Structure 1
Amino acid sequence: MINPHRDPSWTCPPAPAEIRDFHRSLPGYSPTRLVELPELAARTGVGRLFAKDESSRLGLPAFKALGASWAIHRALRDVTGGPVTIVTATDGNHGRAVAHFARRFGQRAEIYVPDGVHPAAIQAIRDEGAAVIHVPGPYDAAVEAAAGARRGLLIQDTAWDGYEETPARIVDGYSTLFAEIDEQLPVPADMVLVPAGVGSLLQAALAHYRSRPDPAATRVVSVEPSVAACVSASVAAGRPVTVATGPTRMAGLNCGTVSSLAWPYIHRGLDLCLTVTDAEVSGAARALAAHGVDAGPCGAAPLAALNLLAPAGATVVLLVTEGTAANPAG
């Protein structure tokens, strides 16, 4: 679906430059690889096709490490006294990243998970030393429970009225990913396909590409599960709406409400929004694996969407946001 509210002249400020320096200072940091996929480019009809492979990022199998590390680092600057408990809700990767960096920074973590999160993903959070609390119901219910815990330091990657500073820092943390792409791409990107849950990574992509001198040069496309398409529904309505969600292998994208912080960027900056099914994503994951890219269901979603779009002759970047270790497909 084309965004009817897209404003090609709309611009926004870039993320703070200090974030890249912070990530470079972390033990184990290195840019994740950008893989060119000429055979898949030929199959889909695009000019050149690249996958940003986030299957190994700062010791974790997903991009979420970038946002969680920066947000926790900044939040702890304002904490006085002893250790705190860091709290969040998750459908998988964000919670594991929060638990990981809470431990690395000497803090405790308490992670709220909704129905539908794979047991292996829950165990991975526990393996980081965090307490896991199951909340019956969808992702939004887990967010509500974490926000209402009334203890600890909330590090949530979705925003609502009155809770925006920390989600903004998480989004800013993702800016490192796009700075790396700029350095790695041999030619400018015509199109970037971004998996969208609540919209935080999508917001980061839009902040990056719409802060440039030519804000319309790169088309940004959101990709969602057909059973959890809150971005598409909101774009169609011209305002944020909440949708009922259904079961999907794309657990990290199974979100019913767009982040209030992301919405202004989406409303004016997003070019297209697409939805994909579990079957389409399974095929895309197999295709990526055959070309040496390890992709979990969420990470394979952009290729599945590209098969529906196929912009002839374009240079396209797929954000493969997770590996199979982050979100088992079973």
Structure 2
Amino acid sequence: MTGSLSPTARVVVNGNRDASWTCRPAPSDVRDFHRALPGYAPTRLVGLHEAHGPGSPRVFAKDEAHRLGLPAFKALGASWAIHRALRERAPAGPVTIVTATDGNHGRAVARFAREFGHRASVFVPDGVHPAAVRAIRDEGAQVTHVSGDYDTAVATAAAAVGDGILVQDTAWPGYEDIPGWIVDGYDTLFAELDDQLAAEGIARPGLVVVPAGVGSLLQAALTHYRSTTALPGTAVVSVEPESAACVLSSVAAGYPVTVATGTTSMAGLNCGTVSSLAWPRIRPGLDGCVAVTDAEVADAARKLARLGIDAGPCGAAPLAAWNALRAAATDARLPPDTVVLLVTEGSAANPGPGSYRLEA
């Protein structure tokens, strides 16, 4: 895949991709932990049946609309990170789990803080939809509004943690253990994909399209597909809003770049700074980046709804990115019968300005 993407304003190839680079796999006990949680079940893999003739890519969506009672994969990272943080600290009684969020991460943290017998304090920036705030409060969390963007909310949460435990899904120098555990938690999603593809007689995907906010899920994908135990040959591409393309801008520059963010229906991807833990994986391991518009994800969400997949703007972004790659004729450059995987999430996850619940 490296070199097959055409650099444009919205599709950028990673010139620093190193095909020889590998990393250690995620811890082996993560999936066992998730399997032991009440209500755990693998989310479904759905064939989109978009073939255009013999040799065309086969496209599948990993439908994350129902994950441990929440509408997105965030439950995997939050549950494992809180479990690990509590194991390290071994508190004598209830503590406050603190985080900043643009929606769904905060809800997941609040859910598992409560289920594990603790409190949650969640900081939200400007632009978070009232429905997302209400969902966090309904999990029993205290919610505090922060005037400013997501990065400002993260800084405010970190300063306010006190005797609590900060469970943030982005890292910076000096704060990397817990964000790393969140990333480890997401590996369960990709381990499930391995099993589901094997059941279809598929050894590995040819292309995986992953939504990227600060890059934690993207880091998990790169760890999985670039690990020393992975089969080679899987390309990984990120997708972001045009108005908050910090990964694309960083890849284009060759170093981490903070971008100003705007208003987008993709509220969960409205992030301006790449996680310091994700960047060392992104620079050598990511094949390319795509930026998409709100209109494109709205169209993609309607298409997914017609196929029986409930996806909001963030969840529809990978299909919008795949459509952009096809429009650039990138799919024609893929090997025949390539398997394409799109990671989605439900419409109830990260509602943002102009969000919608689409019917078929």
Equivalent position to 2:167, from 145, 148, 155: 155
1:15–1:207: 8 Å Cα contact kept in structure 2? yes
Q: Which amino acid aligns with 1:326?
A: A
Equivalent residue of 1:268, what SS? helix
Match in the other structure for 2:149: 138
Match in the other structure for 1:81: 92
2:207–2:236: 8 Å Cα contact kept in structure 1? yes
2:51–2:58: 8 Å Cα contact kept in structure 1? yes
2:250–2:257: 8 Å Cα contact kept in structure 1? yes
Measured against aligned partners, the alpha-carbon deviations of 1:222-281 in whole angstroms (never above 9, x if no partner) come to: 000000000011111111110000000000000000000000000000001010000000
Deviation at 1:41, TM superposition (A): 3.7
In 2, the alpha carbon distance for the partners of 1:125 and 1:259 equals: 23
Equivalent residue of 1:265, what SS? helix
1:225–1:278: 8 Å Cα contact kept in structure 2? yes
Match in the other structure for 1:31: 42
**Residues 135 and 46 of structure 1: CA distance in aligned 2, closer, same or farther (over 3 Å):** farther
Match in the other structure for 1:315: 339
Q: Which amino acid aligns with 1:165?
A: D
Deviation at 1:23, TM superposition (A): 0.2
Deviation at 1:82, TM superposition (A): 1.2
**Residues 254 and 46 of structure 1: CA distance in aligned 2, closer, same or farther (over 3 Å):** farther
Q: Which amino acid aligns with 2:191?
A: A
1:245–1:254: 8 Å Cα contact kept in structure 2? yes
In 2, the alpha carbon distance for the partners of 1:253 and 1:315 equals: 25
TM-score, structure 2 normalization:
0.89
Match in the other structure for 2:250: 234
Q: Which amino acid aligns with 2:349?
A: A
Q: Which amino acid aligns with 2:83?
A: H
Match in the other structure for 1:266: 282
In 1, the alpha carbon distance for the partners of 2:310 and 2:155 equals: 33
In 2, the alpha carbon distance for the partners of 1:168 and 1:147 equals: 16
TM-score, structure 1 normalization:
0.97
Measured against aligned partners, the alpha-carbon deviations of 1:106-131 in whole angstroms (never above 9, x if no partner) come to: 10000000111111011000000000
Match in the other structure for 2:226: 210
What count of residue pairs does the alignment treat as equivalent?
327
1:46–1:315: 8 Å Cα contact kept in structure 2? no
Unpaired runs of 5+ residues, structure 1, are none
Equivalent residue of 1:87, what SS? strand
Equivalent residue of 2:340, what SS? strand
Measured against aligned partners, the alpha-carbon deviations of 1:60-89 in whole angstroms (never above 9, x if no partner) come to: 001000000000001111232210000000
Aligned residue runs from structure 1 range 1-330, under 5 A: 1-38=12-49, 40-42=50-52, 46-77=56-87, 78-151=89-162, 152-185=164-197, 186=200, 187=202, 188-212=204-228, 216-310=232-326, 311-312=331-332, 313=336, 314-320=338-344, 322-328=345-351, 329-330=355-356
Deviation at 1:49, TM superposition (A): 0.6
Measured against aligned partners, the alpha-carbon deviations of 1:158-197 in whole angstroms (never above 9, x if no partner) come to: 0000000000000000000000000001212100000000
In 1, the alpha carbon distance for the partners of 2:230 and 2:30 equals: 23
Q: Which amino acid aligns with 2:183?
A: V
In 2, the alpha carbon distance for the partners of 1:41 and 1:113 equals: 41
Q: Which amino acid aligns with 2:120?
A: A
In 2, the alpha carbon distance for the partners of 1:216 and 1:246 equals: 37
Aligned residues with identical type, % of pairs:
69
Shift >6 Å, 4+ stretches: none
Q: Which amino acid aligns with 2:218?
A: L
Deviation at 1:42, TM superposition (A): 3.4
Deviation at 1:214, TM superposition (A): 6.1
Q: Which amino acid aligns with 2:196?
A: Q
Q: Which amino acid aligns with 2:155?
A: E
In 2, the alpha carbon distance for the partners of 1:177 and 1:58 equals: 12
In 1, the alpha carbon distance for the partners of 2:269 and 2:232 equals: 26
1:35–1:51: 8 Å Cα contact kept in structure 2? yes
RMSD, aligned α-carbons: 1.3
Deviation at 1:327, TM superposition (A): 3.0
